[in-house]
Amino acid sequence: MSMLFLILSSICSADLTPGDHTRSLESGGRTRQYLIHIPPQYDGQEETPVVLVFHGGAMNARAIQLHTGMNKKSDEAGFIAVYPDGTGWLKKMLTWNGGNCCGYAMRNKVDDVAFVNALLDDLAKVVKVDARRVYATGISNGAILSYLLASELSNRIAAIAPVAGPMGTASCSPKRPVPVIHFHGTNDTFAPYEGRQGKGLTLTIFYSVEHSTNNWVKANGCTGEPKTEELEDQHEDGTKIIRKVWGNGKQGSEVVLITIVGGGHTWPGIQPRVKYLGISTKEISANDMMWEFFKKHPMPE
């Protein structure tokens, strides 16, 4: 009997192999689920970076996996991509509680920060995680959650890359500086760049992009005026890219704003499946840019 127990324990604690996997855990009285994509070069021997990718409102993990193309970047770069599921009445229409947004998760006061904390503990049981290189990104409601995680889980999240979603809180209070690269289109009607009520079903009144960057410039202790540049226009797609960088932050942190002039509620470099979200720029790849940013910003030792 004891031999059987040892065999089962060994199987349960074994590293996952390259490919896609689904995990479940209990958090806040709910059974929560997340998807894991492990790149082909992962051999279970070395600690590996992790990128958490949070879906938007009325989506789920499988949808954002397809929407972002992050599996391809995972395979190229060698990080583990993790796609958590939010909560909701319908399995394909889930949300996150990021503060002032959104839907079911916010109304029911779901503690998604606790869920992500538990997820990271669970993930470490089945893969070798580099705890200094755990990053978060997401679109819309998922971007809002990534901001909240940077504030409340700064001991575990090394840097974030919100896409088309601002902070969902009036302020932030990280225990350590967290580098931020934020992507946002000026023609986003679902989470408007300048802040106001968006077109979504939740009727959320969003904070502005400026509110987000100002809070994190202050929290990270960045100094001086931002360095601003317009990137070279290489495609005639109706967009242009303006990059602002606030540097000189504490512990080497910085805040970067990628403004997509003419861009919609979309993931830069990936064409949306529906036209009503607006234009997705071809000028940059959010996946490439955020991964280069993440590589620069591991958790300080």
Show the tokens assigned to 57: 């409102």
| Centroid of chain to Cα 242 | 21
User: What is the reported pLDDT for 274?
Assistant: 85
Q: Tell me, what's the pLDDT at 6? A: 34
What's the confidence (pLDDT) of residue 133?
Answer: 98
Exposed, middle or buried by CB within 10 Å (0-12, 13-18, 19+), for 16? middle
Nearest residue to 255 via CA among 300, 295, 292, 218? 218
Instruction: Give backbone dihedrals phi and psi of 272, rounded to 5 degrees, phi first.
Output: -70, 155
Nearest to 104 by CA among 91, 87, 84: 87
The total domain count for the chain is 1
In a domain, 1, yes or no: no
Would you say residue 3 lies in a domain? no
Is residue 162 in some structural domain? yes
pLDDT at 14: 54
Residue 242: Cβ within 10 Å count: 14
Q: What is the pLDDT of residue 301?
A: 86
Q: What are the pLDDT tens digits along the chain (301 aa)?
A: 333 333 333 344 458 999 999 999 999 999 999 999 999 999 999 999 999 999 999 999 999 999 999 999 999 999 999 999 999 999 999 999 999 999 999 999 999 999 999 999 999 999 999 999 999 999 999 999 999 999 999 999 999 999 999 999 999 999 999 999 999 999 999 999 999 998 877 789 999 999 999 999 999 999 989 999 999 999 989 999 999 999 999 999 999 999 999 999 999 999 988 889 999 999 999 999 999 999 999 999 8
Q: Is residue 10 part of a domain?
A: no
In a domain, 246, yes or no: yes
Question: What CATH code is carried by the domain that includes residue 182?
Answer: 3.40.50.1820
2 lies in some domain: no
Radius of gyration of the chain (CA): 19
CA distance 299 to 178: 9
Domain with 101, as residue range(s), is 16-296
- Please give the Cα distance from 269 to 266 (Å, whole number): 9
Tell me, yes or no, whether 9 lies in a domain.
no
* pLDDT of 2: 37
Whole-angstrom distance, CA of residue 150 vs CA of residue 253: 13
Which of 76, 289, 91, 98 lies closest to 191 in space, CA to CA? 98
CB atoms under 10 Å from CB of 238, counted, come to: 13
Question: Percent helix, strand and coil across the chain, each rounded to 5?
Answer: 30, 25, 45
Residue 214 falls within a domain, yes or no? Answer: yes
Distance in angstroms (rounded) separating the CA atoms of residues 44 and 18: 9
